[in-house]
Structure 1
Amino acid sequence: MAIHIARRQFTVDDYHRMREAGILTEDDRVELIDGEVRRMSPVVPLHAAIVKRLNTLLMPHMGTLMLISVQDPIQLNDVSEPEPDIAILRYDASYYAQHHPTPEAVLFVIEVADTSLDYDRDEKLPRYAEAGIREAWIVDVEAEIVVQYTQAIGCQYLTRREYRRGDSITSVAAPGITLQVTHIFG
């Protein structure tokens, strides 16, 4: 006889209450995806360095129209609150002090993928597309390429472009942002 084990799906509110109650702490590197609390990969030095480089490269483009969010939550829906490595947000004078940004506030996201490439591409990317986030980049650390995904339809992006050292990448959702791939990898 097979035993069926029911899973409990958590909402974003449940997830926040778990943090407030101390069930989950800042030391727990987790995010909420489709109602499941999922462990995130540890941040290795090269991953951290690339995130810092991206932050430095993107900062001059922010001005008064955009904000850069580094490894902070975005609320996609009632059951998903991922923490992309970088999110470029529409400017909000409160800096989103009352709530985490929702898809309407997100211009594009960047995931730096070293040990997390499959998870970022196969799990998180479809959720970003489904939420209507217009653009996502995956920085593939091992291959030293940046893959730009645009034209979100349903759970997928219709356009996929690869950029290598020597190439420049321009955001579709924030056209004033152009980065040299060589500078991303150092």
Structure 2
Amino acid sequence: MTLITAKWSLDDYHQMIESGLLAERSLELINGAIIEMSPEGVTHSFYCRGTAKYLRSLLGNRAEVSEAHPITLPNDSEPEPDIAILRTPDTLYQTRHPFPEDIFWLVEIANSTLAKDLGVKRELYARAGIPEYWVINLQTSELVVFRDIIDNKYRAELCLNDGDISPLAFADLSIDISQLCR
């Protein structure tokens, strides 16, 4: 027997949120499925705060650094990446979540969620046209960088554990990888 699961639209999801049906739950909408998010551990929180603080210090007012807030993507998806680097001003997001065209790059901090971040999330972000996606792999202390979307897939994958990197959107910016993967 084949089981068929119900798919939810963004409108359905927002109505459930507004009604309070999903209150007190940590969820995200991925490809029409409501997914329970893993509880955030101490190590994950530490790296997320530190990475966001470091990126804010480098970017200044050139971009918004958003932590663990929803972004709205096609295919009935509203994930909550650990860090989103967004277009300014922040008032763009007063009445809506950021759309793909607002996003310079996304960062996920991965330990227990590594398979999801390197699999489903990588595919989702590439299909949405997010030009750059970084995964900080806490298991190996390395930064995995995805770039160059062709046919809705990232074609370039870099695995780095030292040196500097410049994001595509800010070629003049030098980010010390050891600050992210310490």
Pick the TM interval, shorter chain.
over 0.9
Aligned partners of 2:152, 2:39: CA distance in 1, in Å? 27
Q: CA deviation at 1:179?
A: 2.0
User: What is residue 180 of structure 1 aligned with on the other side?
Assistant: 176
Q: CA deviation at 1:152?
A: 1.4
* Alignment correspondent of 1:133: 130
| Segment of structure 1 superposing worse, 124-133 or 147-156 | 147-156
1:43 matched residue in structure 2? 40
Q: CA RMSD in A?
A: 1.5
Q: Return the alpha-carbon distance in structure 1 between the equivalents of residues 60 and 13 of structure 2.
A: 33
- Say yes or no: does 1:31 pair with 2:28: yes
1:148 Cα shift?
0.8
After superposition, give the CA deviation of every residue in 1:56-100 in whole Å (9 maximum; x if it has no partner): 111123333311110001101150011100000011351501100
| TM-score normalized with structure 1 length | 0.92
Structure 2 distance, partners of 1:154, 1:119, is 21
Partner Cα distance (1:38, 1:69) in 2: 21
Distance in 2 (alpha carbons) for counterparts of 1:130 and 1:159: 15
**Maintained 8 Å contact 1:139/1:146:** yes
Contact 1:130–1:153 (8 Å) recurs in 2: no
SS at match of 1:73: coil
- Cα-to-partner distance string for 1:12-52 (whole Å, 9 max, x where unaligned): 11111111111101x31110000000011111111100001
Structure 1 CA distance for aligned equivalents of residues 172 and 19 of structure 2: 42
- 1:67 is aligned, of 60, 64, 67, to 64
Alignment: residue pair count: 182
- Percent identity reads 30
